[in-house]
């Protein structure tokens, strides 16, 4: 009976570590599985050490500035070339 209780505690702590990892922007399922295999305490301390994952600000869409984009669309990339 003690083994079953220990197993359930280990599983619950691993799930909690996975949820915490997800909340700080990490891959929660991976960290939860790692916590289950290794140790929830070790993985939780690792997550505390590495901290939150930096979120990138969304970049506004911009068109390519180089002339290579025009190739293959009937446009020349040579500014000295004239159409005949």
Tens digits of residue pLDDT in 11-69: 999 999 999 999 999 999 999 999 999 999 999 999 999 988 877 777 776 655 555 55
Q: Most distant CA pair in the chain: distance in Å?
A: 89
- pTM exceeds cut of 0.85: no
Higher pLDDT, 70 or 22: 22
Residue 9 binned pLDDT confidence (cut-offs 50, 70, 90): very high
């Amino acid at each position: 009976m003690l083994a079953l209780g220990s197993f359930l505690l280990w599983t619950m702590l691993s799930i909690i570590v996975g949820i915490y990892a997800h909340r700080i922007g990490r891959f929660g399922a991976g960290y939860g599985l790692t916590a289950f295999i290794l140790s929830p305490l070790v993985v939780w301390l690792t997550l505390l050490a590495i901290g939150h994952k930096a979120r990138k600000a969304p970049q506004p869409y911009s068109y390519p500035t180089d002339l290579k984009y025009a190739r293959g669309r009937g446009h020349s990339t040579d500014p000295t070339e004239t159409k005949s």
